[in-house]
Amino acid sequence: MESFVFEHAHRFTEQEYVGVTTVFSRKPRPRVTRMAILLVIAGLLLLSRYTFVLGILILLVYLVGRWLPHTLAGTATRQFRESKLLKNELTYGASERGVWVRGPDFSGWAAWHLLGHWRIRGDWLMLPCSGMPTVFLPVSELQAEGVFERVMERVRANGIAYDGEAEEFSRSTAHAAA
């Protein structure tokens, strides 16, 4: 296999990190639209004495849903807020030998065989490896530098696609390249 090296630096904002890593967060606009519709329906239900309790219940569920991601351990919002690494600019990279993350006072490297369940969300190829933070590689920059297919060969050979979206993207890029 031909050797390659790709590296880029990025600092995530909380909103960006949560949008990329949250499982149910596909696109922000439909989510906002759904929430607005839900609040309008709840407001309308509050206008009638027969549906008032249902309106209150919908509003309570909405408020709990907004509050939980910030308080439950393991949610992307909480992970970002508690992380001492993610608030800094980190350098992510990949080569034919493995992947790495470097930041202030931290450096982690993993061979490809340590790759877990990878996925592509938006423009990000997410590569979680055992014992180190997830490596985030921008698909558009990988393609612009001509190393996307070489990285994906390693990813497909060593990792498991997290979801159908990753598998579908993987297949569509493989067919486009052929």
Structure confidence by residue, pLDDT tens digits, 76-94? 788 888 888 888 999 999 9
Does 120 lie in the same domain as 66?
no
Give the structural domain span for 41. 23-74
93 and 155 share one domain = yes
Is residue 96 domain-shared with residue 137, that is, in the same domain? yes
Residue 79 lies in a domain: no
> Residues with Cβ < 8 Å from 98, sequence gap 6 or more?
109, 110, 111, 112, 114
Same domain assignment for residues 54 and 94? no
pTM: 0.69
Could you give the CA distance from residue 118 to residue 163 in angstroms, rounded to a whole number?
9
Burial code (b: 16+ CB inside 10 Å, e: under 16) for 78-117 equals: bebeeeeebeeebebbbbeebbbbbbeeeebbbebebbee
- What confidence tens digit (pLDDT) does each residue in 124-173 have? 999 999 888 999 999 999 999 999 999 999 999 999 988 654 555 555 55
Count structural domains, the chain: 2
The answer to whether residues 94 and 159 belong to one domain is yes
pLDDT of residue 73: 55
